[in-house]
């Protein structure tokens, strides 16, 4: 961790905001790492951001790739004709199309808002691009979810302000552990199917 903090502080000492935007654009990390990184006085010293500024910059940075991901995944979906389907069958319920779409956008917002690994703007944008959801409403849903997620992480960092470095380290460990477990599960599943 010392070499990582040295790398960040040496290369981004004069433009903390750029480091935060870059980190918040990285899939899986997003605001979960960008907010505690921005508020970390051990790394930035007096250049560390206030909670509101850290939240806003991480929020803005996480939204940068959203539209691009939606357009690319929508284009890929059109090229993969018949491979990806977006038909939803709901048994036993008569739901109008407007109510159904509202629920989908609400679920998309909730999915992006949960600050866990593999949830967030990248995953939400991919889901929105591969379904028939309207892009402008999907982007609004993703933006609201990202704002909620950034706010939750900021609140956590404010409540435990003496432990921001530990929050950053624990967040990184959780993300790495989750990715390793996911890798091993998919590896064993693939091995079992062969």
User: In the chain, how many domains are there?
Assistant: 1
| Domain interval for residue 119 | 2-81+88-193
Q: What are the tens digits of pLDDT across the range 100-144?
A: 788 899 999 999 998 887 888 999 999 999 888 899 999 999 999
The CA-based angle 135-138-144, given to 5 degrees, is 140
Token pair 């940068």 in the structure block, residue: 64
Q: What is the pLDDT of residue 13?
A: 79
Mean pLDDT computed over 139-167: 88
Question: For residue 51, what are the contacts with CB-CB under 8 A and spacing of at least 6?
Answer: 39, 154, 157, 158
Question: For residue 164, what are the contacts with CB-CB under 8 A and spacing of at least 6?
Answer: 36, 39, 40, 41, 42, 157
Q: What are the tens digits of pLDDT across the range 23-53?
A: 999 988 898 889 998 998 888 888 899 999 9
User: How many CB atoms are closer than 10 A to CB 55?
Assistant: 26
Q: Taking the model in full, what pTM does it have?
A: 0.77
Q: How far apart are CA 44 and CA 168, in angstroms?
A: 14
pLDDT band at 94; cut points 50, 70, 90: very low
Mean pLDDT computed over 156-177: 81
């Amino acid at each position: 961790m010392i070499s990582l903090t040295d790398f960040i502080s040496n290369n981004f000492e004069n433009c903390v905001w750029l480091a935060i935007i870059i980190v918040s654009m990285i899939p899986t990390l997003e605001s979960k790492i960008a907010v505690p990184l921005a508020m970390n006085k051990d790394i930035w010293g007096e250049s560390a951001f206030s909670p509101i500024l850290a939240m806003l910059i991480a929020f803005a940075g996480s939204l940068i790739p959203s539209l691009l991901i939606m357009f690319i995944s929508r284009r890929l979906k059109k090229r993969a004709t018949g491979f990806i389907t977006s038909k939803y069958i709901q048994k036993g319920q008569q739901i109008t199309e407007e109510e159904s779409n509202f629920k989908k956008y609400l679920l998309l917002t909730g999915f992006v808002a949960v600050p866990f690994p593999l949830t967030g703007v990248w995953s939400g944008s991919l889901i929105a691009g591969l379904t028939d959801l309207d892009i402008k409403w999907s982007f609004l849903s993703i933006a609201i979810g990202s704002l909620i997620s950034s706010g939750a992480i900021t609140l956590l960092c404010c409540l435990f302000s003496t432990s921001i470095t530990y929050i950053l380290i624990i967040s990184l460990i959780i993300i790495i552990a989750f990715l390793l477990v996911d890798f091993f599960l998919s590896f064993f599943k693939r091995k079992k199917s062969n």
